[in-house]
Amino acid sequence: MGRIIAIANQKGGVGKTTTAVNLASSFAAMGKRVLLIDMDPQGNATSGIGVDKKKLPATVYQVLIGDEPVDRVVRETSVRDLDLLPANQALAGAEVELVGAIAREVRLRKALDTVRDRYEFIFIDCPPSLSLLTLNALTAADSVLLPLQCEYYAMEGLSQLMQTIKLIEANLNPGLKLEGILLTMFDARNNICHQVAEDVTQHFGWKVFESVITRNVRLSEAPSHGLPINIYDPQSRGAVGYEALAREILSRAAEQTAAPRIEA
Ligand code: ADP
Ligand code: MG
């Protein structure tokens, strides 16, 4: 059964899509079967993995409104072992169309039930909002990975997101866990980065990943070539960072099955 990890933060530009694409691709490079789900109408994960978002016969939108079964919309990518459930601008309509629909928050979860056993990991790239699309992602997920950009206002909005996660846990998805908090765009020369790292570790302790993604221009170039970083530039610090994160997630999971962690 594939483990479903939603990558969420209601702030834009914090590294959600970069993390979703490159973490998915790092796991695929380890030979894991991976599905990447684009839940953002901007379709950045779709184009970032090399799929033309203007030429899609169907997207996650049709899946959410119930017009297409998920396995008819999922497609292969140029990356081995990595499939994509794509999105484009059409997804923006789902929000409005699902108002008043029955069980509108569980649409994605229900759809994924039919394909889950084909994958080891499923990553959902969330939009920069706490909208119905994000609710669907968090309701479908086993855990949430929270990218946090190392900047002055990073912690702002984090408590709101934690509150949303708790609400979803209480009402829609009792098993939802916090996979971890990931520091992104870290710049060791910038004092604010160190301050953010210190603050977030003080608040969230072990939930902050030891792996940190540094600011790396190669990571920002890769999407325009439609390639994940481990193919675009495997030697780059970005590629090394996301591979380390994938390994950390695997070893944490192994630890958790071996001996239940004591919650801080
Ligand atoms: P989000 O999905 O949260 O809106 P993105 O992943 O799209 O954020 O990242 C925002 C911008 O920052 C993009 O242009 C992306 O290429 C760039 N970016 C993300 N992570 C890094 C990084 N570690 N180093 C340099 N640029 C990055
Ligand atoms: Mg994004």
Interval 87-129: pLDDT, tens:
999 999 998 899 888 889 999 999 999 999 999 999 999 999 9
CA distance 43 to 49: 10
Classify burial at 201, counting beta carbons within 10 Å of its beta carbon; exposed 0-12, middle 13-18, buried 19 or more: middle
Give distance in angstroms: CA of 264 to centre of ligand 2: 31
Identify which ligand lies nearest to the alpha carbon of 15.
1
Whether the Cβ atoms of residue 118 and residue 145 lie closer than 8 Å to each other: no
- pLDDT for position 90: 95
Q: What is the pLDDT of residue 179?
A: 96
Whether residue 259 has pLDDT greater than 80: no
Query: Atom 11, ligand 1: which residue's CA is nearest?
Result: 13
Complete DSSP assignment for 15-48 = SHHHHHHHHHHHHHHTT--EEEEE--TT-HHHHH
Q: What are 193-249's pLDDT values in tens digits?
A: 999 999 999 999 989 999 999 999 999 999 999 999 999 999 999 999 999 999 999
Residue 253 has pLDDT above 80, yes or no: yes
* Nearest residue to 231 via CA among 25, 4, 7: 25
Which residue is closest in CA terms to ligand 1's atom 15?
220
Region 33-48 average pLDDT? 98
